[in-house]
A and B are shown apart, each in its own frame.
Chain A
Amino acid sequence: GAGVSQTPSNKVTEKGKYVELRCDPISGHTALYWYRQSLGQGPEFLIYFQGTGAADDSGLPNDRFFAVRPEGSVSTLKIQRTERGDSAVYLCASSLESGTAYEQYFGPGTRLTVT
């Protein structure tokens, strides 16, 4: 079956612009996670959804970052007034349920470059 997909694969934007990153999880997976990863670093947790609700958004760095999952499937990560420091690979993962009792399946990521 299809894995986790993320679009776009690459996004270049100018400082100050708004961007949306999309994640399509594996069908039937109730938990969805967003991470960002800088070169040479591990994935940095941003937020996770159980169903439609954000169960833990403590990793969002500031109020310029927001994520939604209105129907409990596709999720969109939204970044307002982008800054150069937002440049990173944004990873999405889904799992059958939340928590480490369940394997996470990661997407290929969206590489965001803010110029």
Chain B
Amino acid sequence: SQQGEEDPQALSIQEGENATMNCSYKTSINNLQWYRQNSGRGLVHLILIRSNEREKHSGRLRVTLDTSKKSSSLLITASRAADTASYFCAKDDMRFGAGTRLTVKP
């Protein structure tokens, strides 16, 4: 079963806007990872957040983790057309959800 479930399933925004996508999970975790997959390309690791961390930043990416709600969110600020991709979360068992398909319009 897929333990990392992302929402929304799809998100369309204008360049320059912020994009927020969420990941929920069912059992306690030690770590959670976010990945990006551009159309026709492989998955690329974006960021890892540990269970004892609440927020982590990497460039225009901000990830938060709320272990009490068993959820994480990925915020992309000042989006660019190149951010158009599918975004997935994965937790300890390395199962992925169906992902959020983000479209950033120029």
Chain A residues within CB distance 8 Å of chain B: 33, 35, 41-45, 48, 56, 91, 93, 99-101, 103-109
* B97 with A42: CB separation less than 8 A: yes
How far, in angstroms, from A25 to B35 measured CA to CA in the complex? 19
* A42 with B42: CB separation less than 8 A: no
Chain B residues numbered 40-73 whose CB sits less than 8 Å from any CB in chain A: 41-45, 48, 50
CB-contact partner of A33 in B50, B88, B94, B98, under 8 A: B94
* B45 with A105: CB separation less than 8 A: yes
B30 interface residue, CB < 8 Å from A? yes
Which chain B residues lie closer than 8 Å to A44 at the CB level? Answer: 2, 96
B17 interface residue, CB < 8 Å from A? no
* B42 with A103: CB separation less than 8 A: no
8 closest residue pairs by CB, A with B: A100-B31, A42-B96, A106-B42, A103-B45, A106-B43, A43-B96, A42-B98, A42-B99
* B45 with A104: CB separation less than 8 A: yes
* B48 with A101: CB separation less than 8 A: yes
* A41 with B98: CB separation less than 8 A: yes
Residue of B nearest to A48 (CB): B94
Which chain B residues lie closer than 8 Å to A56 at the CB level? Answer: 93
How far, in angstroms, from A109 to B37 measured CA to CA in the complex? 12
* B42 with A107: CB separation less than 8 A: yes
How far, in angstroms, from A25 to B86 measured CA to CA in the complex? 24
Which chain A residues lie closer than 8 Å to B96 at the CB level? Answer: 35, 42-45
A89 to chain B, nearest CB (A): 9
Count chain B CB atoms within 10 A of each CB in A41, A91, A100 and give the residue with the most: A100
